[in-house]
């Protein structure tokens, strides 16, 4: 980078400003650059997958919109993801669902194996990135009644238990091949539209099923397990079997299983940024799904809003950058899908950088001394410190577009590639 460029000159001024409050911008950038954020593959094809081109989404999953250019094959999806990777700085992982297998073989979910994902692993290894994974408990005839692992029919439960077991083995293979632990996140759509008479029965069955899935111990160097709660879903408005309370209890009782907190899976007035510190007192690691609820779990594109900044701030203030796994989770079919990806990833990275540029130790010292006046005054002042100059410098130093210069590239890609699908 030329020292005569405006980006460099502006960064040098910002660096001096931050040094004045005891913040080393180079150290912050080093931490940012080493922090992997998991990019969700399902934004690129509206969560349809490649298991069956004619399958429809069920289980409270809904992608709205019909913007042209949806990826139709694994190769097209990888092509789109590579374009996104060229427009965001820093390290990413790719998050796959089980329905994204790449095979000509017709295989049901209780029979999937690592070989059905070989092309994804080869691609990830060639790119030097890790893979995360998710069993897919929706959009299948065996989930049509709105229940899977908590279904009263043992045969249905056994089908989905075997799916969970096989997904963990696939994840283990991902971890061994890529050299990076695969985070395997389990979410089920189970519940009722109206209030059940027996609220505990489904949860007892779910606990028993989870115990079976996690019975085999897998080295955490290769696979890390997580369970994801939800408030409710479409058609399951009254009762969700896998609630926050249920999965928090399960994770605390089973230390090898992480709790996943999704930003959109709670009551409208709840935010996960306040939950992070409480949970980290009792667990070693957690998984965060960064999303943006509008009225409910609508999975909107992540914007640079107060809650996103608060989530990243909570991670840094807790000193938990190595204990929190960060992943994106949304799908919007009303806009260019690459725009949705790039906006969300760059915003997540920007918010993390902003949190890293706070003089956390100095503020904590004020708090310990009961100097709440200084704490209030300075935290407000730091909100408008020139973090964007540090972000621009980071982008340019990583060879990706600065500010909105990435958008014309996506528009050109839409014209040359997406419009021809």
Residues that are catalytic: 187, 228, 230, 262, 265, 289, 297, 299, 329
Q: Dmax over Cα atoms in the chain, in whole Å?
A: 71
Residues 6 or more apart from 64 whose CB is under 8 A from it? 332, 333, 334
Rounded CA separation 223/237 (Å)? 33
**C-beta of residue 190 within 8 angstroms of C-beta of residue 235:** no
Q: What token pair was written down for 20?
A: 């004045």
**C-beta of residue 224 within 8 angstroms of C-beta of residue 260:** no
SS3 state at 146: coil
Rounded to 5 degrees, φ, ψ at 91 are -100, 140
Quote the Cα angle for 139-140-145, to 5°. 95
CA distance readout (Å), 297 to 13, 177, 288, 343, 384: 41, 34, 15, 19, 31
- H-run or E-run covering 325: strand 324-328
Which single residue is written with the structure tokens 């390290």? 91
Other beta carbons less than 10 A from residue 162's beta carbon = 17
DSSP string spanning 214-241? T-S---TTTEEEEEE--S--TT--SEES
Q: What token pair was written down for 133?
A: 């994974």
Which single residue is written with the structure tokens 């990583």? 398
């Amino acid at each position: 980078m030329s020292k005569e460029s405006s980006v460099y000159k502006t960064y040098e001024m910002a660096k001096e400003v931050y040094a004045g409050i005891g913040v080393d911008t180079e150290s912050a950038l080093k931490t940012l650059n080493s922090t992997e954020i998991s990019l969700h593959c399902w934004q690129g094809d509206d969560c349809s997958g490649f298991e069956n081109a004619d399958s429809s989404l069920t289980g409270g999953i809904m992608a709205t919109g019909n913007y042209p250019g949806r990826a139709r094959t694994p190769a097209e999806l990888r092509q789109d993801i590579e374009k996104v990777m060229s427009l965001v700085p820093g390290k990413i992982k790719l998050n796959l669902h089980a329905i994204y297998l790449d095979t000509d073989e017709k295989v049901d979910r209780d029979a999937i194996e690592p070989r059905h994902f070989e092309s994804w692993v080869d691609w990830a290894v060639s790119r030097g990135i890790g893979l995360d994974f998710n069993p897919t408990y929706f959009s299948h005839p065996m989930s049509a009644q709105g229940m899977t692992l908590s279904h009263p029919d043992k045969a249905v439960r056994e089908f989905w238990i075997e799916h969970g077991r096989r997904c963990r083995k696939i994840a283990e293979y991902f971890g061994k091949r890529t050299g990076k632990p695969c985070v395997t996140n389990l979410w089920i759509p189970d519940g009722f539209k109206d209030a059940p008479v027996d609220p505990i029965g489904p949860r007892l069955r779910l606990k028993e099923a989870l115990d079976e899935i996690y019975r085999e111990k897998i080295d955490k160097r290769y696979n890390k397990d997580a369970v994801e709660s939800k408030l409710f879903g479409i058609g399951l408005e009254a009762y969700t079997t896998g609630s926050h309370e249920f999965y928090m209890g399960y994770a605390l009782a089973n230390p090898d299983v992480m709790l996943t907190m999704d930003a959109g899976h709670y009551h409208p007035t709840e935010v996960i940024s306040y939950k992070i510190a409480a949970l980290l007192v009792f667990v070693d690691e957690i998984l965060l799904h960064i999303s943006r609820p509008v009225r409910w779990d609508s999975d909107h594109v992540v914007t640079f809003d107060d809650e996103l900044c608060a989530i990243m701030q909570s991670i840094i203030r807790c000193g938990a950058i190595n204990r929190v796994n960060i992943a994106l989770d949304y799908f919007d079919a009303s806009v260019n899908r690459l725009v949705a990806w790039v906006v969300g990833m760059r915003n997540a990275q920007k918010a993390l950088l902003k949190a890293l540029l706070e003089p956390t130790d100095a503020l904590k010292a004020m708090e310990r001394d009961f100097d709440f006046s200084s704490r209030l005054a300075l935290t407000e002042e730091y909100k408008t410190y020139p973090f964007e100059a540090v972000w621009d410098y980071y982008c340019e130093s990583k060879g990706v577009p600065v500010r909105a210069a990435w958008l014309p590239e996506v528009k050109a890609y839409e014209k040359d590639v997406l419009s021809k699908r």
